[in-house]
Amino acid sequence: MSQVVKVYDAIGSDFSRTRQKTYGNGKSTNWPVTDRYLAKLKTGQSVLDIGCGNGKLITGLPSGVTYLGTDFSETLIKEARKLHPEHEFHTGNVAEESHWKGLGKYDEIFAVALLHHIPTVEKQLFVLKQMKEHLNSHGFVYLTVWNLWQEKFLQYQMEDHFEIPFNKHWKRYCVAYDVASLSELADQAGLKVEEIFYADRAGNKTDMVSGENLVMVASNL
Q: Identify whether the C-beta of residue 132 lies closer than 8 Å to the C-beta of residue 105.
A: no
- Distance in angstroms (rounded) separating the CA atoms of residues 104 and 75: 25
Handedness of CA 191, 195, 197, 202 (dihedral sign): negative
pLDDT over threshold 60, residue 24? no
Burial class (CB in 10 A: 0-12, 13-18, 19+), 179: middle
Can you point out the beta strands (E) in 6-64?
46-50
pLDDT in tens, 105-157: 999 999 999 999 999 999 999 999 999 999 999 999 999 999 999 999 999 99
Question: What is d(CA 53, CA 71) in angstroms, rounded to the nearest whole number?
Answer: 6
pLDDT of residue 180: 98
The string of pLDDT tens digits covering residues 29-59 is 898 999 999 999 999 999 999 999 999 999 9
Identify the pLDDT of residue 12: 46
Domain that holds residue 22: 2-220
| 0.85 surpassed by pTM | yes
Query: The domain that contains 200 carries what CATH number?
Result: 3.40.50.150
Domains of the chain: total: 1
- Tell me the residue type at 53: G
Percent of the chain with pLDDT over 70: 88
